[in-house]
């Protein structure tokens, strides 16, 4: 379990977590009306903060919300929190809801709830990188796929099964058309080309960086990706802001390719590691 930061930011103040009181009338709670973004620190510094804040603002706009602070103000708050919370490396979760509502329907977009919390960066099992990970395929269509909303009903409902089957995440498809993993972007490698679901997905911060690196060497195709494409792929991998590039070698009980981590995935893992971590 990740250790939570002792201090959180809520609507103008950095306070101890137990003093941060969300209203019981918040539409983020009563109606699930909220967006967020999540990033990690590398060497103690927020990584790709500008990209994450750009995505947060875009998610907010999709729901008719507005991030109430500038990037510089948010960065300053995060740095102050990281100093106080003293994680080795952290994840930073930035949450924006419609705020307090008089009737659990209407809310004033000019008075949102803006919350930032941090956790110790969690460890991803090394075996996922070394021998590849498993996903569980689930039929699901996100309501606003281009926005990172807080709706993770399907993911959390399946969490016990993810853990018990030793899987890393869910793979979402809508009647066979693949979109993304529940908490990551998802890609297919076939005949040396990289296939990326072209629509109905969240813009991936790390994913787009990995595709940029990939384009130096491989052909990248944005297209419709089906479950047949996945099960007939040479390799699959996912990308995530808190897990980099992870090879996927199994979907449910089906093996991808020969079941080992393929050369394109290995190459992209190494390229991204050098790019992001300089190692």
> Is residue 88 involved in binding its own copies (CB under 8 A)?
no
Nearer to its own copies, 156 or 270 (CB): 156
What x/- string results for residues 45 through 74 when contact with its own copies is judged by CB under 8 A?
Answer: -----------------xxx----------
Cα distance from N-terminal residue to C-terminal residue, the chain: 27
Q: What is the largest CA-CA distance in the chain?
A: 57
CB of 189 to its own copies, least distance (A): 29
Which ranges of 177-218 would DSSP assign to H, the alpha helix? 205-215
Nearer to its own copies, 86 or 153 (CB): 153
> Is residue 176 involved in binding its own copies (CB under 8 A)?
no
CA distance 202 to 143: 11
What x/- string results for residues 121 through 150 when contact with its own copies is judged by CB under 8 A?
Answer: -x-----------------xx-xx----xx
Nearer to its own copies, 58 or 260 (CB): 58
- Phi and psi at residue 170, to the nearest 5°: -95, 155
Contacts of 118 (CB under 8 A, 6+ apart): 4, 5, 8, 78, 81, 82, 85, 87, 90, 91, 92, 93
> Is residue 21 involved in binding its own copies (CB under 8 A)?
yes
CA distance 205 to 129: 20
CA distance 135 to 133: 7
CB of 31 to its own copies, least distance (A): 4
> Is residue 215 involved in binding its own copies (CB under 8 A)?
no
CB of 9 to its own copies, least distance (A): 9
CB of 52 to its own copies, least distance (A): 16
Cβ–Cβ < 8 Å for 14, 248: no
Binding site for its own copies (CB under 8 A): 1-4, 8, 10, 17, 20-34, 36, 62-64, 93, 95, 97-98, 102-106, 115, 117, 119, 122, 140-141, 143-144, 149-157, 159-160
């Amino acid at each position: 379990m990740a250790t939570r930061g002792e201090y959180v930011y809520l609507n103008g103040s950095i306070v101890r977590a137990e003093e941060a009181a969300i209203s019981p009338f918040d539409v983020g709670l009563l109606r699930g009306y909220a967006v967020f973004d999540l990033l990690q620190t590398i060497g103690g510094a927020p990584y790709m903060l500008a990209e994450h804040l750009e995505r947060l603002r875009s998610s907010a706009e999709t729901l008719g919300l507005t991030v109430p602070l500038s990037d510089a103000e948010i960065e300053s708050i995060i740095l102050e929190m990281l100093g106080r919370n003293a994680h080795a490396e952290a994840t930073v979760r930035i949450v924006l809801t419609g705020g307090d509502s008089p009737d659990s329907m209407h809310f004033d977009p000019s008075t949102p709830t803006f919350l930032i919390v941090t956790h110790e960066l969690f460890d991803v099992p090394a075996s996922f990188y070394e021998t590849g990970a498993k996903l569980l395929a689930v039929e699901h269509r996100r309501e606003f796929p281009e926005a990172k909303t807080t709706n993770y009903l399907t993911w959390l409902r399946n969490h016990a099964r993810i853990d018990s089957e030793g899987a890393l995440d869910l793979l979402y498809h809508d009647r066979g058309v693949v979109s993304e993993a529940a908490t990551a972007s998802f890609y297919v490698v076939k005949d040396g080309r990289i296939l990326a679901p072209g629509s109905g997905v969240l813009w991936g911060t790390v994913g787009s960086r990995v595709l940029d690196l990939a384009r130096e060497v491989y052909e990248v195709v944005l297209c419709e990706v089906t479950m047949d494409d996945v099960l007939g792929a040479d390799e699959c991998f996912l990308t995530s802001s808190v897990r980099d590039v992870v090879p996927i070698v199994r979907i449910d009980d089906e093996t991808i390719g020969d079941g080992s981590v393929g050369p394109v995935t290995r190459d992209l893992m190494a390229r991204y590691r050098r790019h992001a971590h300089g190692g």
